Amino acid sequence: MELTTGYPFSVIKNGLPFQYPKLLSNDQARVAIIGGGISGALTAYFLTEAGIDCILLDGRTIGLGSTCASTSLLQYELDKPLHELTKQVGERSATRAYQLCSYSIEVLEGIAHKIGFEEFDKRGSLFFSTHTGQKSFMKKEFDARRQAGFEVSFLTKEDILKNYGLKAEYAILSGKGATTNAYTFTHALLKNSIKNGLRVFDRSKVLEVIYGKKGVSLRMENGFSVSADKLVNASGFEIVNFISKNIVELFCTYAVVSENAREMKEMWKNEIMMWNTDDPYLYMRLADDNRILIGGRDERFNASMSKDLYVKKSDLLRKDFEKLFPNISFRSEFAWSGTFGRTKDSLPYIGSYKKTPNTYYALGFGGNGITFSVIAAEIIRDLLLGNKNPDIEIFGFERKH
């Protein structure tokens, strides 16, 4: 499955920061991890830190799936607003999901500091609406977040224009958020985990998983095999290759980054991240050298869609930005598209699935893929160590919502 097209900025900027071998012999481990993106890397980090023997396999070069296309916004806000998620899954589960994403940002900051990864910046988040008729919607969301314990402020049209130069009607300002580089973070995590005994193999595609009562066996494309007591599937949007259960709808999102504008002053206050209420929503942040990164214009994934569509979408994204910021010049430089998935409740799938014994899943779908991956890694680590984790009920395959 083609997960990206175009020129993801993280790959242009960073190239291939680390090289990994191809699996050229049979191997075994206590835990095998399928997927070398940010989800697999975080899972490997947590498991190796706990002293668990792991091997990680990816069919591509590490990081060149959806991870390199990530715009790397870290937010506690989910794709589905808190007050709407509460109606769907109940107040306890909705609030807990939001709180866990908030906690995950802190965990990621701690990990980055521990392993010496510098591409991590704490930033606030601005959720805005350009529609005058959405005042009630925004107020409900503001009240729901405040009731859940989040520090938020409600901004008017005048506040938004004065502080951020943004033409919008209403906004909710949250102080909790961050930006990173999912692509280089993945490599940094793996490099650290290799020191703890992790074996990483890329360009090593798993063709088939044979599930047994006492473990699993992975049949590789080149004829070799890997046996393990347990399997963690962190293959993300390619999970359709491993289970038939219809748990996710695939979409393409598009992104464009502007030219270097280092000579300019700060574009907007505190380099705040921004995203709006539209469906699909538009999201923006500042990248290195005062580059502006815009994403959105999502549509359903179709294998036959034009690979050049990202060029047209990037122009539309530029025009979207110019309507919001008429006083800021935006000159496009790199554009790309990436595949992502949506679940019905905007929550990830974490834990075991009854049809695939001895297997755990770390499937961080949606716009919160990175923070969901932290949640998944912690839950799976606890399960492998024989410890209970009550949060699995919220994200499990058997959930009712």
Residue 154 lies in a domain: no
> For residue 401, what are the contacts with CB-CB under 8 A and spacing of at least 6?
88, 89, 90, 93, 344, 345
What CATH number is associated with residue 307? Answer: 3.30.9.10
Residue 164 lies in a domain: no
What CATH number is associated with residue 56? Answer: 3.50.50.60
Report CA-CA distances (Å) from 248 to 18, 138, 143, 355: 31, 27, 30, 17
Do residue 232 and residue 353 come from a single domain? yes
Do residue 287 and residue 352 come from a single domain? no
DSSP SS3 for 219: strand
Angle between helices 38-49 and 369-384 (to 10 degrees): 30
Do residue 259 and residue 333 come from a single domain? yes
Do residue 232 and residue 275 come from a single domain? no
- Cα angle 55, 178, 314 (rounded to 5 degrees) comes to 90
Q: What long-range pairs does 328-332 form, CB within 8 A, spacing at least 24?
A: 328/165, 328/267, 328/292, 330/258, 330/292, 330/294, 331/258, 331/259, 332/256, 332/257, 332/258, 332/259
Domain holding 55, by residue range, is 18-69+183-243+347-395
Do residue 51 and residue 198 come from a single domain? yes
pTM of the model: 0.94
Please give the sequence-ordered ranges of beta strands (E in DSSP) within 247-400, or none if there are none: 249-258, 273-276, 283-286, 292-300, 332-342, 349-352, 359-363
Do residue 256 and residue 382 come from a single domain? no
pLDDT at 366: 79
> Of all helices (H) and strands (E), which one includes residue 137?
helix 135-147
| Cα 283 to chain centroid, rounded | 14
How far apart, in Å, do the first and last CA atoms of the chain sit? 28
Number of domains in the chain: 2
Do residue 313 and residue 337 come from a single domain? yes
Q: Which residue has the tokens 């193999």?
A: 201
> For residue 242, what are the contacts with CB-CB under 8 A and spacing of at least 6?
34, 209, 233, 235, 356
Do residue 188 and residue 256 come from a single domain? no
Do residue 219 and residue 190 come from a single domain? yes
pLDDT, tens only, 289-348:
899 999 999 888 776 565 678 889 999 999 999 999 998 989 999 999 888 888 899 999
pLDDT at 266: 77
pLDDT at 245: 66
Report CA-CA distances (Å) from 113 to 55, 307, 361, 373: 25, 38, 27, 18
Rounded Cα distance, 25 and 160, in Å: 59
Rounded Cα distance, 311 and 329, in Å: 19
Rounded Cα distance, 185 and 119, in Å: 8
pLDDT at 264: 79
Residue 288 lies in a domain: yes
3 state SS for 359-378: EEEEECCCCCHHHHHHHHHH
Residues 138, 172: contact at Cβ < 8 Å? yes
What stretches in the chain show pLDDT beneath 70?
1-5, 237, 244-245, 303-307, 401
pLDDT at 303: 65
pLDDT at 173: 98
